[in-house]
Amino acid sequence: EAYASSQSLKNLVADNSKNRLLFETAIALEGLPRHYSTHAAGIILSDDDLVDHVPVQIGGDGILMSQFAKNQVEEVGLLKMDFLGLRNLSILENTITLIKKGYHIDFDIRKINLDDPETLKIYQNAETSGIFQFESAGIRGVLTKLKPTSFEDVAAVNALYRPGPIQNIDEFIARKHGERPITYPSKELEGILKQTYGIMVYQEQVMQVASTMGGFTLGQADSLRRAMSKKKHDIISRMEVMFINGAMKKGYTHEVAKKVYAYIMEFGDYGFNRSHAVAYSKMSFELAYIKAHYPAAFFAALLNSVIGNPRKTKDYVLEAKNKGVKVHHPDINISQSLYIL
């Protein structure tokens, strides 16, 4: 692009053979892979031998690796899954073990009330140290303003507090508290957008609107979602025509259909994956529930997870004491290698 638009650069290349060689070499190298590496969490699942679908090689860790990048793997029809390890799952498991041993109860985390008032107070007061996804000062500030009153609010905050969606947080908070009206681009969409106060927070809402109003198949709705997340404007423009035509076949006017599609572009452009937000928020809520109802077990497991980090240990011990948890000093006769109840 620089060469095409700059006459001085063209002259520099044309007037010197060495410069011309450097330029031609750079053009030949541009776009070539610089190196190969293994995806941090991507695993291909296939019943067939992978060599029948993609070129493979042995990676640096001795594991079979596709020579196709992640996007190309999916384009040839293979299923790629991301498997991520989470420290907080270990904390949750260890906390449950401590509860069962320390309180002598058959505690089942799967049966907790996801709208438990005491747990919601943890979020309302931003007392979320040690709570997965909600520890940062920034998101605590959002929690104090929003005052979540349901698990749905917690999940929405988790989805909104991201680069891009964060621009909708103030509008979301104002609508929740009645400071601004909750509006819908079309009354038929209230059922889809009511839980998020008329704002498209989730990618799944984009898909629902495209399917319900525009007559998209779920596959087409997912293609729209992907195009929006990847900023593929040619596909977005093409699907606008499809959406408007589909909506008009369902009895909507051209004006209403165009207005709704513009609304999708305004909010849906930054939509977050609901299944992701709910899964992470559920784990967060489970930890917050335990913190609210079994604080001693919570802090014991939390402190075990930061052994070797004196700053966090100090902060968590101080908070535990402020919550009424009695923390004993080390005792040569009874202390163990980990914090216990």
User: Could you report the per-residue pLDDT of 270-292, keeping only the tens digit for each?
Assistant: 788 999 999 999 999 999 999 99
Q: What are phi and psi of 311, to 5 degrees?
A: -65, -50
Cα 261 from chain centre: 24
| Cα Rg, the chain, nearest whole Å | 27
Model confidence at 35, pLDDT cuts 50, 70, 90, reads confident
Q: State the pTM of this model.
A: 0.80
Distance CA 301, CA 73 (A): 40
Assigned token pair, 256: 């209403």
Give me the torsion for CA of 315, 317, 319, 324, rounded to 10°: -170
Distance CA 158, CA 144 (A): 14
Stretch (H or E) spanning 151: helix 151-160
SS3 assignment, position 202? strand
Check residue 242 and give its pLDDT.
96
Is the CATH number of domain 87-158+275-322 1.10.150.700? yes
- Per-domain residue ranges of the chain: 42-82, 87-158+275-322, 163-271
Check residue 163 and give its pLDDT.
85
Model confidence at 158, pLDDT cuts 50, 70, 90, reads very high
Answer whether residue 60 shows pLDDT above 80.
no
- CB distance 282 to 275 below 8 Å: no
Distance CA 200, CA 181 (A): 15
pLDDT tens digits, 322-338: 999 999 999 999 999 99
The larger pLDDT score, comparing residue 85 to residue 190, is at 190
**Terminal Cα-to-Cα distance of the chain (whole angstroms):** 66
DSSP-derived letter for residue 189 is G
Percent of the chain with pLDDT strictly greater than 70: 100
- CB distance 118 to 86 below 8 Å: no
Check residue 59 and give its pLDDT.
84
Check residue 71 and give its pLDDT.
86
